[in-house]
Amino acid sequence: MTRHLALVEEVLERFFSLSTQRAATLAPAYEALWKTLRSNTAGGKRFRPQMVMTAYTALGGSDLRSAAHVGASFELLHTALIVHDDVVDRDFVRRGIPNVSGSYRDVAQTAGLSLPTAEHRGMSVAVIAGDLALTGSFRLMERASANPEVRDALVELLDRAVFDSAAGELIDVDFSLYSGMPSIEEIVHMERLKTAVYSFEAPLQAGALLAGATHDVIAALGEFGRNIGIAYQIVDDLLGVFGNEASTGKTTLGDLREGKRTALIAFASQTSEWSSISQLVGDSELSAEDAATVREVLERTGAKKFTQRLASDYADEAVAALHGAGIPQQLIEQLTPLVTAVVERVR
């Protein structure tokens, strides 16, 4: 896999090199923006390219350069979506370092602009940067295959991924703004659209499609991706409250302070003890002590257990989807550890 991902890096490197050179002919500031976008694309786990390459090679694909273009396309889509998501969430930091908005906010503040003006500049540049990454994602996908039919189908998959992610993002914005509590089904639906489609479902299907897999195999991989993607998000939400900060690199206060709508919280809101913590969930100044109280209630009411069970049910669905559609044993063996890794993260 390392060798396959190195090919993805090569495609991304060439894309950024050419774009940066072209940008330099237009304006120094534009060259700088491309460099920022490049560094915001570096350092990821390349999770989506891995999904593409795994499906592609296990299904007999041998044109690794083509597959690497598909992988790189999904990686750029990921960059586009997180850069714009950070604008929506007014986040200026990601993985502990300034994101696009943060970098440009900081430069503007150093140049003497007020914080609100500097923040708006950061967000403005991030809107532009996300557009460039999104455009790049389509460009790379179009270059993935010389076969017009395959290319059309790949671009169609990418299009659907953008379409579904946008729906998920919109529903998520609505959740965070209105005071009502969405149902568990609504939350799972949102998480599927916002993340599972473009991170699991579409990359696996794209790899299979490029490898010339049958309709049944492609459909089954979609089903697998959807379910494991949902399981992944549910586990992520659990880790956001019960995780080990040292291993997740993410504070376990953030989601509670934000009042993030998750399956965990939606379940708790239906229990008799909810009134004892409802004021704490969403309190932007929640103390570590109060957070401990919330966690106790989430355990006592069974919300934690329910959510763990929900994640493992989706993981089971994912595994079930792998069987019976003619997916080769080799691919099943490569995807099964992924399922274990997703579920094990929270145990």
Helix, strand or coil for residue 137? helix
* Selected binder of a second copy within 166, 219, 280, 332 (CB under 8 A): 166
Q: Which is nearer to a second copy, 22 or 309 (CB)?
A: 22
C-alpha 112, offset from chain centre: 35
CB of 39 to a second copy, least distance (A): 17
- Give dist(CA 131, CA 125) in Å, integer: 10
Cα 34 to Cα 49, 124, 138, distances in angstroms? 21, 15, 17
Radius of gyration of the chain (CA): 21
- From residue 170 to residue 209, what is the string marking binding to a second copy with x (rule CB under 8 A)? xx-xx--xx----------x---x----------------
Nearer CB in complex with a second copy: 77/343 = 77
Helix (H) or strand (E) holding 93: strand 93-94
CB of 347 to a second copy, least distance (A): 33
Find the part of the chain contacting a second copy (CB under 8 A) among 22-30, 58-66, 242-250, 306-314. 22-30
User: What is the helix (H) or strand (E) element at residue 154, kind and residue range?
Assistant: helix 148-177
Member of 4, 84, 105, 260 binding a second copy (CB under 8 A): 84
- Asked if 127 touches a second copy (CB under 8 A), the answer is yes
CB-CB neighbours of 215 under 10 Å: 10
Q: Which is nearer to a second copy, 134 or 263 (CB)?
A: 134
Q: How far is the CB of 74 from a second copy (least distance, A)?
A: 14
**Is there binding between residue 230 and a second copy (CB under 8 A)?**
no
Question: How near is the Cβ of 34 to a second copy at its closest, in Å?
Answer: 10
| Of 168, 148, 166, residue with least CA distance to 261 | 168
Select the span of 26-34, 51-59, 202-210, 314-322 touching a second copy (CB under 8 A): 26-34
Candidates 7, 8, 11, 23: give the one binding a second copy (CB under 8 A): 23
The number of C-alpha atoms within 13 Å of 92 and in the hemisphere containing its C-beta is 15
Report in angstroms how near the CB of residue 319 gets to a second copy at its nearest: 26
Give the chain's count of helices (H) and strands (E): 17, 2
Question: Which CB, 118 or 239, lies closer to a second copy?
Answer: 118
Give the Cα separation of 218 and 50 in Å (integer).
17
C-beta separation of 141 from 70 below 8 A:
yes
- Indicate the helix (H) or strand (E) that contains 317: helix 303-321
Binding site for a second copy (CB under 8 A): 19, 22-23, 26-27, 29-30, 33, 80, 84, 87-88, 90, 108, 111, 113, 117, 120-121, 123-125, 127-128, 130-132, 134-135, 138-139, 142, 146, 148, 152, 155, 159, 162-164, 166-167, 169-171, 173-174, 177-178, 189, 193
